[in-house]
Every structure is written in C-alpha cells, then in structure tokens.
Amino acid sequence: MHDVIASYFPVLVFGVIAVGIAGAMLGGSLLAGHQKPYAEKTSAYECGFEAFDDARRRFDVRFYLVAILFIIFDLEVAFLFPWAVSLSHVGLFGFLSMLGFLGMLTVGFIYEWCKGALDWD
C-alpha cells in the first residue's frame, strides 16, 4: 500500500507549485496595477443603463435536466472503467452483464429522446 501513496507524492508537490505560480500571477497583478475604483467603474456591465435587479435569477429548467442526465451517464461511464480493464478476466459472462446494464440505460436514453428532453429551443 505504501508505494501507492508514494506515487501520489509528486502530484502533491506539482499541485503546490502550480497553485503557487497562479497565485503569484494574480497577486502580482493586484499589487502592480494602479487600483482606483469608483461607483461608475465598478457597476455591472449593461448596455448603457443601470442594471434592473440582481443577476442571480431563475433560469431554464433544461439546464438542470442536462446536469441530472450528465450525472446518470457519468455513473454509467464510471462503471465502464473497471470493465474495460478486466474484460479479459470476466469473459463472456461479464460482457453480457454489461450489455444488460447498457441495454437498460439505452431504454432510458430512447425514452428521453422520444420525449424531447434532448431538444433545445
């Protein structure tokens, strides 16, 4: 088990250095630039008028639907990774069990296609 942790140690060092570089760039810009904010400059961008209200509002339910469908298909892909690696061990039975699994999801996929869940206006 110890070598598993050891193989991730460079990832940690790499991450620290990368984060350091990005932070230094952002911080350097904050220090180097001449900051002079005033109300007009810091108001939200609009086409020449004051913003009517807060920008964080409700939006189309289709965005949620896409996020939910993505979770489902992401899980499907997650199940495929160990299968792809061990297909030579699990043989025909494993292949067929995956076909059954994918078949069920394909039924769902056809359902959502026919229902128009994948259409955007």
Partner 1 sequence: MTALVFYVFATILVLSATMVISARNPVHSVLFLILGFFNAAGLFLLAGAEFLAMLLIIVYVGAVAVLFLFVVMMLDIRVSEAREGLQRYAPFGAAVGAVLFAELILAFGHWRIAPAIDAVPHLGQAAGETNTAALGDLIYTHYVLLFQACGLVLLVAMIGAIVLTLRERPTGRRQDIERQHARTVADTLELRRLPLGRSVRELGGFARPTSYSEAAAKGSYDPHAPVLSDESRGE
Partner 2 sequence: MIATLSNFLFHTMLGHVVLVALETLAVLVPLLLGVAYLTLAERKVMAAMQLRKGPNVNGPFGVLQAFADAIKMLTKETVIPSGANRFLFLFAPFLTFSLAMVAWAVIPTGNGIAVADINVGVLYLLAISSLGVYGILIAGWASNSKYAFLGGLRSAAQMVSYEVSIGLIIVSVLLAVGSLNLNDIVLAQRHVWFCLPMFPMFILFFISALAETNRAPFDLPEGESELVAGFFVEYSALAFGLFFLGEYANMFLMSGMTSILFLGGWLPPVGIAPFTWIPGPIWLIVKILFCLFCFIWVRATFPRYRYDQLMRLGWKVFLPLSLAWMIGTAGFLMATGLLPHQGVS
Binding stretches for partner 2 (CB under 8 A): 4, 7-11, 13-15, 17-19, 21-23, 25-26, 28-30, 32-37, 39, 41-46, 51, 54-56, 59, 63, 66-67, 69-70, 73-74, 77, 80-81, 84-89, 92, 95, 98-99, 102, 106, 109, 113, 118-121
Residue 14 is a binding residue for partner 1 (CB under 8 A): no
**Cβ distance 40 to 50 under 8 Å?**
no
The first and second tokens of residue 109, run together, are: 């996929």
CA 105 to CA 66: how far, in whole Å? 16
Our measurement of the distance from residue 109's CA atom to the centroid of its chain's CA atoms, rounded to an integer in Å, reads 21
Residue 52 is a binding residue for partner 1 (CB under 8 A): no
